Structure 1
Amino acid sequence: MLFSACHPQTGELPLVQQGRSAYVIVVPTEATKAESKAADIFRDYVKRISGAALPVIPESQYKDQPAVFVGNTDHTYGPEKIKPEGFFTGSKDKFLYIRGGSGQGVVYGVYHTLQAYMGCRKDAAGPAFVPTAKDIRISGSLSDLQEPAFLYRESYYPPSMDAEYLSWHRLHRFEDLWGLWGHSFFKLLPPATYFKEHPEYYSLVNGKRQAQQLCLSNENVYTLTVAWFKKAIADNPDAAYWSISPEDGGGACTCDLCRKADAEEGGPQGSLIRFVNRVASQFPQQRFTTLAYGYTARPPLKAKPGSNVYIMLSTIDAFRQEPLAQTSSAAAFRKHLEGWEAMTSNLFIWDYTTQFTNYLAPFPDYNNLPSNIKYFAAHHVKGVFSQGSGETYGDMAAYNSYVQAALLWHPDADMQQVNHDFLKGYYGPAAPFIGQYLEALSNAVKSTHSTLDIYGNPVYNIRDYLSPKLIDQYSTLLDKAEAAAGDNSVFQQRVAGTRLFLEYVVLQQSRYYGNEPYGYLEADGTVKAKWPQRVQQFAQQCKAAGVQELSEGGLSPDAYVQEWQELFSRKWINSLALHVPVTLVHPYTPEYSPKKEATLTDGLMGGRDFSYNWLFTYGKDMIATIDMGSNKTIHQVQMNFLQDARHYIFTPVRIQVETSMDGQHFTAAEEKDIPVPGEDYAVQIQHYSFSLPGTSARYIRVTAKCPAGLPEWRLVAGKQPALCCDEVSVE
């Protein structure tokens, strides 16, 4: 791409000279919508670059003159056939040809030409970068054929909410392709409509009909499903895919007929595939997708998906610090992939490249993206849904989207060049330091043997790649990036958006540290003077960057500030049990209790997020003995328990407090029976206070009895209730 010479060099097309052009844009006489759109895009950008307005004419009006042929005109050059959505950009003599396969191929070809040969860029949502030049010269010997490696390509990040970005980077959106997407059982037969009168339409779980999944052996379920699709397909005939998939979670039907099918097929995936095949056979011209996820991940023993049925296999159980082809946590996924591959050529992958519990937390799986997508391609996968932070801004959202788009089009893309192109275009002179920042994060994950969990937490990585020492090193690189960006407001804003990820980690980890170094409290338990302002500034920067929620279904920036204000308003508890040792009869769950037993006496109250400052005990009673070191006069013992039904966390059914002088002989002090809660998914913190007027003791034992099982309204096979306790305060 050259923009300045007044006279064209040999072998170049002088598309525009000194702001004028002899060229016309020619489309087929009966141009498709895509061809007309492509021609208009090309005309618009040429004018924005140079000021020259090239006429767009149908081929029937074309006379022998310099031309840009857009679409499948009779004047043609290049390969005879182009695969669907592929494109060809070629030049010969004084002509430029931009052709496409079916679908949006010709549109993709125009945007590729604009970026590769005319200097335009669109690295994220918003306006594209358009250079200005009086001359536009294009090589006279182009022959650039590109065809996609995958039929379906989606990178689910904020840039993909921009329609032009999608076309520019040759990506899809499920909203545009699917008439019905994702977990769809209850869209087909909503429980609010059918369950009361027809509980037999829904799954039999533990001997009782429950609105958890559908009963796929029920003939009326099949009839109603077919009727639903007849109407939906008639209303939306252009939809490419239709989903027939279980709801998220467990609860597969265990009625006699479903159980018989599942026994023959090796699990609940059997009755699912049989049902999907049966529905799909009624609509042979349509394509149906179903989820191989959770209890349906394994391929069935006998039933093969129909020719118009696509399997979307999930990678949800794998950790992300290593490529999927080698990490031990993906062993089951690899086995399932090979099994499905052996029985169908219609395979999609639902992959994950973000931390759903903390969208802003640095999640450096960046270097694994090429390996993973090559692995999918090697196993004949036809499409990939790469789920990031969705519409909300998350860790390296623009970078991840750009890289994933490049790899989903061409898995063998030169990653060094892809990285360079994005960083230079998006960050300008700050690019080298952002590159070093990404490299430092990736190297730290390896050197510290970190685990990248899509449901993880910055606190869990506090001793590895997100340690305070390493955060300081990352911050230094971002300082250099900020300085390099200079006074360019666009690059400064983008560097500031990248710094948000570290700032979020610092804020979240400060809750763990409390009044220790790196905490938000002074040693005496008062809030550090600048911390409230720091939180406010963070929230403002979040909103400027496009953060809508900080986690999947989580807090908005404003709600995050409110949560902090509640923390700031809490009175520091100068408990007699502050920082004293605790022993447990049953073990805590380590992945959710980073402070271990000390959680109960660290002086910090747990909030609404169970992963911060709660002692998490799964499926067993919490029996904790607190040793105050010497006899104390006790008047009151207080504690909190969390209820978070979504995560199977419930209050105990009974709490007993006992005291002892010697740690061997305990005397009952007070006991409370707690009613089993009704159906309620709101996160609640329940406070319990026990009166021990003037009791002398060294040891306090708290026994919180775990519910025997989940309540019926939250019953899920294989799950048990958990207890979360914090803080045990003694006065």
Structure 2
Amino acid sequence: MTYLLYIMTLFGYGCQSLTGGDIALVSGGKSNYVIVLPADAGKNDQHAADVLKDYVKRMSGASLNIVKENTLKDKNQPAIFIGHTDHAANINTGEIKPEGFMLATDSRDVYVIGGSGKGVVYGVYTLLEQYFGCRKYSQAPATVPKVKDVRVPAQLHDLQEPAFTYRETYYPAAFDNEYLEWHKLHRFEDLWGLWGHSFFKLVPPRAWFSSHPEYFALVKGIRQPTQLCLSNENVFRLVVDSLRQAIKENPDAMYWSVSQEDGGGYCTCDLCRKVDDEEGGPSGSLIRFVNKVAAQFPERQFTTLSYLYSSKPPQRTKPASNVIIMLSSIDALRQEPLSTIPSAAAFRKNLDAWGTVTSRLFVWDYTTQFTNYLAPFPDYDNLQPNLQYLSGHKVSGVFSQGSGDTHSDMAEFNAYVQAKYLWDPKADVDKLQDDFLQGYYGKAGKNMRQYVNALENTLKQTKAPLDIYGNPVNHHRDYLSPLAIDTYSKLLDKAEAAVETQPELLKRVYTARLPLEYTVLQQSRFFGTEPHGYLEAKGKEYVVNPRWPERIRKFTAACKAAGVTTLAEGGVSPDGYQQEWDSLLARKWVSSLAFRAPVSLVNPPAPEFPGKGAQTLTDGLEGGRDFSLNWLYLYGKDLVAVIDLGTAKPVNTVFMHFLQDARHYIFNPSRVSIAVSEDNTHFTDVGEQAVTPLQGEDYDIKNTPVSFKLTGKAVRYIRITGVCPTDIPVWREAPESKRPAICCDEIYVQ
């Protein structure tokens, strides 16, 4: 069986049987076919012909001439007709939707007929993949079979049209131009003249806030550069003027975003509030404003985000005909499909509600862990059900946000299958995934399938939440437990062994292992002095495991080789990660009378960031810049911790750190006090300190030390109280329901 027939039989490509025979385009490395373009061929026709010629030559060595139809004199010349040639008029295509295409044959000739846009280009790439056996698995060069014969079924009639008009999967592979065309994807930079959160691109606070604060949102009675004041006529004029200039500079852009900034802080001035009251929420002033702007440019298409405070549609005003709503699914967890998971209930309700007022709906979806791009994120089997659900609910465009241009967990796999589902949500999942895993990993494909399945199954069995803002440390007891990681690692060991003599395939398996190694390293910070930690006992002290420095160095080198540029959204580079570890490894472990001492808390940590619970304060580990690692996180509540030293011991000093991270609404306590007791009932206050609050806008992450000098008197119980601030600073905009958090790390007693 030839490679082509094997591919077609195994994966069902091409909906036609071969009972009508084959057309031999190339036989024995030679061909008498030509590629024929319309007399008035456009750039897409020409590009499609060039691609086809190039790949046929790479496959078979045969070089097909490209000619215009009006120069074709011999009626008996066999040909591949590209685009809307006169010959193609004999093919019954009907009306092909934009970017769709028809692949057709009669008894001799081949036709690639495209709808508008790049339909004809997509048709050629589909011919190469589904009928000639070529593959483009990643941003690496395409896989091209070396054959002497190239055949295509006779009497073929393959019409394909996209399920979504806008299709983007945001992973490194999609930054490759050929990958984009091959998989029929879009890139927002190519379609949007202005993308995403755009208010401040149109009216920059740095240019206008100091002189015209009234252009910006009134929040808690104070004008703040959080959003625009949408009832201000000067704001409207500035937005229109900015758009007019931008459109003039980029007249070919298909869409223009007029959208809120990331976060909250919408305007509550009298005029904006009046509109929002009439419309039942802050999306009212937004949609009225965007409609008003869109009316100034009736020939243009605008998008606006339905996100956070604007997620519900207005009760009275409908989006204009040239306004597209882009609804975000940001609040949904990812261990189950969007159609059923409880955390997506509000999203489903809002999607249905928008569907009753507009037929123009896009969705901004999420398929990676933004706080830890390299963490295993096994949402793989939910990707297709999610797109099927969206396709069935009037959604016509999807931005599937992955890790962007940096490598992340199974990035090539995710990009590939998402691209296929975006074109056809009903694609055969098993055949598609097996095609990728066997083609991209070669003989290791079987083991990679086992690895993917093991991650998915363990996630389900442990009922672990899968959060786009999660942390692999939080899963040390479920699907990323040390025992589970050992199981996954053994499967990858087998994968490596299967391709140990093939360096390129072996490198791909190494890259797939990076998320496991990252998880081990991150969890080793958490485990610390315990098994699986980066420290080991040496007498009564703890020192760095001697294997760790080299392990970290190899990891960061492998990250850079794999194309990892950042480990989290807005996070550190591999070199920065190495520097973090260098600082941690250089830190001498500090002994404490409270090491591993029992701790009782009046207020428990937030369930989203449990850490080690109360023992976070006496596990011998300090926190760093990441609030979710080795910090006791208390949301909107005071820290009241009582440490039991076991017996009365002389105490001279007690010290600790608190975290300041305004980006995550974490602030220093307003004051910290210490009290001691012999019986855990009667406490004596022995110190109190006020902590200076932030005096203005400050998003730097800082550790604030707090220490107390005691008399050296023997005590058994020590109570630390950190008072949580009552309000979030006005400059740090937040939803009304949002409360500040405080974080404390190790409490040292000496």
- TM bracket, shorter-chain basis: over 0.9
Are the counterparts in 2 of residues 280 and 309 from structure 1 also a CA contact under 8 Å? yes
Alpha-carbon deviation of 1:444? 0.9
- Cα pair 1:159 1:165 within 8 Å, conserved: yes
Whether 2:720 is the aligned partner of 1:726: answer: no
1:462-515 deviations in whole A, cap 9, x for unaligned? 111111111111111111111112311121111111111111111111111111
- Aligned partners of 1:482, 1:717: CA distance in 2, in Å? 49
Structure 1 counterpart of 2:471, one-letter code: N
What is the distance in 2 between the residues matched to 1:120 and 1:497? Answer: 24
CA distance in 1, matches of 2:733, 2:332: 25
Whether the 8 Å CA contact 2:670–2:692 is kept in 1: the answer is yes
Q: SS of 1:114's equivalent?
A: helix
Q: Which amino acid aligns with 1:130?
A: V
Which segment drifts farther, 323-332 or 9-18?
9-18
- State whether structure 2 residue 46 is matched by structure 1 residue 27: no
**Aligned match of 1:337 in 348, 351, 356?**
351
How many angstroms apart in 1 are the aligned matches of 2:346 and 2:665? Answer: 25
The reply to whether residue 687 of structure 1 matches residue 705 of structure 2 is yes
Query: Aligned partners of 2:4 and 2:631: how far apart in 1?
Result: 65
For the residue of structure 1 that corresponds to 2:344, the secondary structure is helix
Aligned partners of 2:185, 2:333: CA distance in 1, in Å? Answer: 26
Q: Which residue of 2 aligns with 1:579?
A: 596
2:451 pairs with 428, 437, 441, which one?
437
State the partner residue of 1:486.
500
Q: 1:59 aligns with which of 69, 81, 105?
A: 69
Partner residue, 1:518:
532
Report Cα offsets for 1:273-329 as digits up to 9, x if no partner: 110111111111111111111000011111111111111111111111111111111
Q: Does 1:266 align with 2:280?
A: yes
Output the CA distance in 2 between the equivalents of 1:339 and 1:444.
Answer: 35
Give CA deviations for 1:48-106 in whole Å, capped at 9, x if unaligned. 11222211111111122111111111111241321100011111122111111000100
What's the counterpart of residue 725 of structure 2? 707
1:325 pairs with one of 315, 339, 359: 339
Structure 2 CA distance, aligned partners of 1:656 and 1:326? 47
Q: 1:421 maps to what in 2? A: 435
Query: In the alignment, what sits opposite 2:175?
Result: 161
1:693 Cα offset (Å): 3.7
| Deviation string, structure 1 residues 539-595 (Cα, Å, up to 9, x no partner) | 111111111111111111111111111111111121000111112222321221320
Name the counterpart of 1:72.
Answer: 84
Whether contact under 8 Å (2:604, 2:613) holds in the other structure is no
Please, which runs of 5 or more residues in structure 2 have no aligned partner? 6-17
Partner of 1:302: 316
1:615-672 residue CA offsets vs partner (Å, 9 max, x unmatched): 1111222121111111111111110111111001111222222222222333333322
For residue 404 of structure 2, what is the aligned residue in structure 1?
390
> Secondary structure of the residue that 2:248 maps to in structure 1?
helix
**Mapped contact 1:4–1:134 kept (Cα < 8 A):** no
User: Contact (CA 8 Å) 2:4, 2:133: kept in 1 or not?
Assistant: no
Aligned pair in 2 of structure 1 residues 4, 255: CA closer, same or farther (>3 Å)?
closer
The one-letter amino acid of 1:114's match is L
- Aligned partners of 2:4 and 2:131 also within 8 Å: no
The range that moved more, 506-515 or 685-694, is: 685-694
Note if contact 1:226-1:279 (Cα within 8 Å) is conserved in structure 2: yes
Q: Partner residue of 1:238? A: 252
2:617 is aligned with 1:600: yes
Letter in 2 for 1:51: G
Residues in 1 aligned to 2:421 and 2:550: alpha-carbon distance in whole angstroms: 41
Q: Taking every aligned residue pair, what percent have the same amino acid on both sides?
A: 58
Aligned length: 729
* 2:485 pairs with 1:471: yes
1:354 aligned residue = 368
Distance of aligned partners of 1:661 and 1:347 in 2 relative to their CA distance in 1, 3 Å threshold: same
Amino acid at match of 1:398: E
Match of 2:651 among 630, 634, 649: 634
Structure 2 match to 1:538 = 555
In 2, the alpha carbon distance for the partners of 1:366 and 1:137 equals 34
Instruction: Confirm or deny that 1:558 pairs with 2:575.
Output: yes
Q: Supply the distance in 1 between the matched residues of 2:702 and 2:144 (Cα, whole angstroms).
A: 52
Instruction: Indicate whether 1:144 and 2:144 are aligned.
Output: no
1:412 to 426, 431, 435: 426
Code of the aligned partner of 2:411 = A
- Matched residue, 1:129: 143
For 1:692, the aligned partner's letter is L
SS class of match (1:523): strand
Q: Which residue does 1:670 correspond to in 2?
A: 687
Q: Which of the numbers 8, 17, 24 marks the counterpart of 1:14?
A: 24
Q: Which amino acid aligns with 2:599?
A: V
Contact 2:101-2:159 within 8 A present in 1 as well: yes
Task: Say yes or no: does 1:248 pair with 2:243.
Answer: no
Distance 1:569 1:15 in 2: 67
Shift in Å, 1:10: 8.4
Alpha-carbon offset, residue 352 of structure 1:
0.7
Do the aligned partners of 2:220 and 2:730 also contact (CA within 8 Å) in 1? Answer: no
TM-score by length of 2: 0.95
Tell me the distance in 2 between the aligned counterparts of 1:356 and 1:695.
49
1:78 touches 1:143 (CA, 8 Å); kept in 2?
A: no
Summarize the Cα distance change of 1:692–1:4 in structure 2 as closer, same or farther, 3 Å threshold.
Answer: closer
Q: Would you say the 8 A contact 1:593–1:613 is kept in 2?
A: no
How far 1:268 sits from its partner (Å)? 0.3
In the aligned structure 2, how far is the partner of 1:366 from the partner of 1:81? 35
Q: 2:585 aligns with which of 545, 553, 568?
A: 568
CA distance in 2: counterparts of 1:4 and 1:637, whole angstroms:
73
Partner of 1:660: 677
Q: Is the partner of 1:49 in helix, strand or coil?
A: helix
Partner of residue 495, structure 1: 509
